[in-house]
Structure 1
């Protein structure tokens, strides 16, 4: 089991930033421009944890090199069920250097976009409180 999955399943959002490379890139299912840096991506992951209920990983796949992982999940946003996949790419130190999230169906992605938009001011404040993050906008 990938450590990212283990931390998410434990509900240990504080452990997630320690699994991220300093220059991690997050590719959002709802935003075109990537988010970069451990502080910002860690804050985004905390925001996601606040809006997704009953997140369960249902399948995990890895390439033979162990650098690429696909973690398929189900979750709820209010009454809306979503299915998705976290695609992780790790660096030589085993830290996540890229996290790409895909979500379906479209109605679930819209619900996620709306829920995350409501969180984004708090996400930016959390990232900026780190002292190393720059505003995303």
Structure 2
């Protein structure tokens, strides 16, 4: 027998994988709060704000494939692989439910940093343009583009240098000889 939470989760997963913001909104409680992985400065509060954010996210995230689900009737954790532009990422979603089985709190976590910054650089400008704030959208885009570039470049060129499985160069002080 399926519970209300199971029904909500099935719809939520289908909405994410098909990038259907309207279907995702039906899974949200009116008083939902969304806690972003990108900022602690504000939360998306209420179904309207959360729906606006999901619509923008589904515009810039071009692939979502859920792979793991854990939890019970009060809270579930969902994990998916995604892609934003050319950057792949993984997101964890902590969902808390109200008595009707709808999502009343959604906390998002993401990794690796290049994927998260790609989402950050893409989603803000989309949301601001939809709110008829094109100048602010360009400012946010200009401010986040260098961070996305630096994390992408660092991931490809610098981070591999810290790989603990990478052989140390011969004659390097501090390396085992």
Cα offset for 1:34? 1.2
CA RMSD between the two structures: 1.5
Specify the SS of the correspondent of 2:21: coil
Tell me: higher relative CO, structure 1 or 2? Use CA pairs within 8 A at least 6 residues apart: 1
The answer on whether the counterparts of 1:25 and 1:99 sit within 8 Å (CA) in structure 2 is yes
The answer on whether the counterparts of 1:24 and 1:36 sit within 8 Å (CA) in structure 2 is yes
Which deviations, in whole Å up to 9, do the C-alpha atoms of 1:22-77 show, x marking residues without a partner? 110000010212110100001101111001112100111122xx121111011111
Tell me the TM-score normalised to structure 2 length: 0.65
Cα offset for 1:6? 2.3
The answer on whether the counterparts of 2:71 and 2:77 sit within 8 Å (CA) in structure 1 is yes
The answer on whether the counterparts of 2:81 and 2:90 sit within 8 Å (CA) in structure 1 is yes
Q: Which of 31, 34, 45 is 2:54 aligned to?
A: 45
Give unmatched runs, 5+ long, in structure 1: 126-137
Q: Report the number of matched residues.
A: 123
Max Rg structure: 2
> Which position in structure 2 is the counterpart of 1:17?
25
The structure with the greater share of residues assigned to helix is 2
Tell me the TM-score normalised to structure 1 length: 0.83
The answer on whether the counterparts of 1:40 and 1:123 sit within 8 Å (CA) in structure 2 is no
